[in-house]
Structure 1
Amino acid sequence: MVHDAANLNLKEASLSLFADDMALWEAVNCKSERTIKTKMGRYQEKVDQIADYMQTNGFELSTEKTVFMAFTGVQLVKRTCSITINGVQLVPADKTKFLGVTFTSSLSWGPHIDSLVRKAQRSLNLIKVLSRESWAARKPLIHLVRALVRSRLSYGQEAFFAAPDSQWVKLERVERAALKVALGVPRSAVSTLLYQEVGWLPLKEECHLRCAQLAVRIHCVPNTAVEVFTPDMGDTDHMQYKALESKTHTYQTVLPIYNHVKGIWEQSGLSKEKLVTGGTLPYPPWLLEAPNLIIDYGDGLKKAEDPLLLATVAKEKIDQRFKSHLQVFTDGSILQSGEAGCALSIPGLDITRKYKLNKGISIFSAELFAIYMACTLINDLPTPPLGVVILTDSKSSLQALAHGTKNRIPEYA
């Protein structure tokens, strides 16, 4: 019933829910003290509407955990704004933490980034201790840096992507120190070569990539929570941003996420017109029938056997069992330069697709992406086939799909 609160008619305000954490926000144009009081009166009505709904359904908003914030640098707004919940008055707070991200009234992101640095520093100390052990190998240490350091430094990056360079330097300093420990190189080593050695994007560049992917998801998935704050790319005259940027005088320039990732979109040849809005599944995912995965045919054959013999046996098996199926062949490959790609082919429909992937991804990810694109293509066929078989030479991909280990399967699979 808590999640049904998202269906309330709140007019200009927006409501988002994650489990039992709720956020209500509205962009207002504060020109004078009278305007502020009028806007706050309307905002109070929406808060009361939510509180009444909760009380009607047997819930109660916690005044101890509820925080009211005014994202502005104008002191007049902070002195004038307040809301009341269950008779308790709440005044604007300077900062608060929501879903692990620390927000300040000026959107400076300093407290949040300082918190990330402290957490990552503790992980760095652990990696330093492990690196001194005789059994510590380089590759596991690099995985630890990815899991314990980068994962913490990048938490909330879709929110603080526009943080100033002075804040990004704090994050990059900790990650580079961890990579130097894991690689066993001196502290004076050139930092730019570290990422080439481990095959990662630098922290800030990966943030821009993740934000670009988020912008795609926002456009393709309808009714997202942040859709109200993401107008069309380049639409800097949008009312929300005029209110946030020029009227409330926030310290940080507040622009749509599209403006920050516009360069990546242009390099990738993406545009709003090329994106297709996706729909929801007609039935829940847990009711989907699991595919039949065949990993090993037996016959005692191994990969080291004669390729001609293997091809003959494989063709015979395919013709025997899948002659009446729509056959889809997938493959992924990576060059020595790190360039990656994948392809799929459907001989029965005379369809061939090729995809260029991000530089530095693993062959495992390339194979899985080819399988994913094959499933997408089959799902979009105008006439669904009676039987489909996807044929791949990646045994590790099939094993990962069979076991359903989420930590091994990239998000697109």
Structure 2
Amino acid sequence: MLLKFADDTTVIGLIRDDDESAYRREFEQLAVWCSQNNLELNTLRMVEMIVDFRRNTPTLTPLTILNSTVAAVESFRFLGTTISQDLKWETHIDSIVRKAQQRLYFLRQLRKFNLPQVLLIQFYSAVIESVLCISVTVWFGSATKSDIRRLQRTVWTAEIIGCPLPPLQELYTSRVRKKAVKITLDPTHPAHYLFELLPSGRHFRALSTRTVRHRNSFFPQAIHLMNG
């Protein structure tokens, strides 16, 4: 699968039964297409991250493109979200908490200048809450209680403006439900089939999950909220 956003290109491959041929062929085809269309690949900026939860993980041959070996990494930043190979979110949450706390300084300064509360709320929503909620539907359900408390403390600190602010759990729930509704109304969405109505027509069939990681991910959580 090829994901492209502006000049950012990401290739996602699934390796089955230790057969890497299809995965490597995807990269070869990308390199050929770039060569044919006068697009130069910067191999120095390319990285490879492998996600594998098997107990006995085989060692894969390093990926090579244009005679350059692609560096293997444990995490990488994808459109503002830091994804780790263990699919845990401490690194990403560390980053957004640090960024949000830096921006609290400006909120304090604006409060000192006695700006109207409505403008302070607008500033918080645009500059701080937007950072805390980057891809929140992806990672919040799998965040640890400790990390959620760290995030929420940032929100509580911002309440120096003199009014309560929406808790992150509420924002997460609202955004998951909103996104789920859009998927159910769009038959062309690749995940539309996951939202299967039960014969009663009032609830969706719950997804079968074997791990806590899967159960806390977006689609099981979305279906649970839609049924709630």
Question: Normalization by structure 1: what TM-score?
Answer: 0.48
Per-residue deviation, 1:98: 0.9
Q: Is the 8 A contact 1:95 1:102 kept in 2?
A: yes
CA displacement 1:41-65 (0-9 Å, x = unmatched) = 3211111011111111111322122
Q: 1:220 to 1:17 in 2, by over 3 A?
A: farther
Whole-Å separation in 1 of the counterparts to 2:13 and 2:153: 36
Q: Is structure 2 residue 6 aligned with structure 1 residue 19?
A: yes
Matched length: 217
Per-residue deviation, 1:168: 1.4
Q: Per the alignment, in what secondary structure is the counterpart of residue 253 of structure 1?
A: helix
Q: Is structure 2 residue 206 aligned with structure 1 residue 261?
A: no
Match of 1:369 in 2: none
Q: Per the alignment, in what secondary structure is the counterpart of residue 102 of structure 1?
A: strand
Q: Is the 8 A contact 2:186 2:192 kept in 1?
A: no
Q: Is the 8 A contact 1:230 1:257 kept in 2?
A: no
Match of 1:204 in 2: 169
Unaligned runs of 5+ in 1: 1-13, 30-34, 185-193, 246-251, 268-413
Per-residue deviation, 1:229: 10
Q: Is structure 2 residue 150 aligned with structure 1 residue 173?
A: no
Per-residue deviation, 1:260: 0.3
Select the structure of larger CA radius of gyration: 1
Q: 1:51 to 1:234 in 2, by over 3 A?
A: farther
Q: 1:62 to 1:221 in 2, by over 3 A?
A: farther
Q: 1:41 to 1:27 in 2, by over 3 A?
A: closer
Q: 1:221 to 1:60 in 2, by over 3 A?
A: farther
1:231 equivalent among 194, 200, 214? 194
Match of 2:79 in 1: 99
Match of 2:199 in 1: none
2:49 equivalent among 33, 46, 69? 69
Whole-Å separation in 2 of the counterparts to 1:20 and 1:151: 23
Q: Per the alignment, in what secondary structure is the counterpart of residue 122 of structure 2?
A: helix
Question: Runs ≥4 in structure 1, deviation > 6 angstroms?
Answer: none
Per-residue deviation, 1:100: 0.8
Question: Normalization by structure 2: what TM-score?
Answer: 0.83
Per-residue deviation, 1:172: 0.7
2:95 equivalent among 115, 121, 142? 115
Whole-Å separation in 2 of the counterparts to 1:66 and 1:260: 33
User: Percent identity between the aligned chains?
Assistant: 24
Per-residue deviation, 1:223: 5.2
Q: Per the alignment, in what secondary structure is the counterpart of residue 22 of structure 1?
A: strand
CA displacement 1:177-230 (0-9 Å, x = unmatched) = 101x1117xxxxxxxxx24xxxx4x21121122122222333434655xx3698
Per-residue deviation, 1:121: 0.5
Q: Is the 8 A contact 2:138 2:218 kept in 1?
A: no
Q: Is the 8 A contact 2:136 2:172 kept in 1?
A: yes
Q: 1:21 to 1:123 in 2, by over 3 A?
A: same
Q: Per the alignment, in what secondary structure is the counterpart of residue 131 of structure 1?
A: helix
Q: Between Structure 1 and Structure 2, which shows a larger proportion of helix residues?
A: 2
Match of 1:319 in 2: none
Match of 2:63 in 1: 83
Q: Is the 8 A contact 1:101 1:156 kept in 2?
A: yes
